[in-house]
Structure 1
């Protein structure tokens, strides 16, 4: 099993974190999609702080995690102290 300073890949090769240092500064776009909604631009412009937008998912359903627009995982929203995680 790999420890904190090593990373394994599907070919069972172990690499130290220092070997991967070149990619540590590569920017990636990460999105956690809670749900989606469709609305007209006029409705969008009428939104104000505190407005409620109904999404296409229910409470407790998995959220989608995208990295560079590619679905990589599904997860759930949890409360950690007074913050969402």
Structure 2
């Protein structure tokens, strides 16, 4: 396959994708989860620690519109936290 025959197909995909560039999505980085009773929840205060189901160094889940799409690591960008993707999660078609 030459570049000349592949170019229109690639250009079309880029054009199709351009139509959704302005669609907002909700992106979340999930550090972990915890289960607790409501009574314990209302007793939390400043300085309380909630133990999560993840260990230090484990990847965090990157979720887009409530769907797991990747895993990554927490990084520090100047004075803010960020997440770098280390693995794309493939979803089953079924």
Larger RCO (CA under 8 A, 6+ residues apart): 1
Corresponding residue pairs, total: 74
* Residue in 1 that maps onto 2:80: 83
* Residue in 2 that maps onto 1:51: 48
- Structure 2: segments with no counterpart, 5+ residues: 1-8, 83-94
Q: Deviations over 1:30-62 (max 9, x none)?
A: 111000100001111111233211001011110
Instruction: Tell me how large the CA RMSD over aligned residues is.
Output: 2.2
What TM-score comes out, normalization by structure 1 length?
0.71
For the residue of structure 2 that corresponds to 1:55, the secondary structure is: coil
CA distance in 2, matches of 1:70, 1:37: 19
For the residue of structure 1 that corresponds to 2:19, the secondary structure is: helix
Q: Deviations over 1:54-73 (max 9, x none)?
A: 00101111000011111111
Give the number of the structure whose alpha-carbon radius of gyration is greater.
Answer: 2
What TM-score comes out, normalization by structure 2 length?
0.65
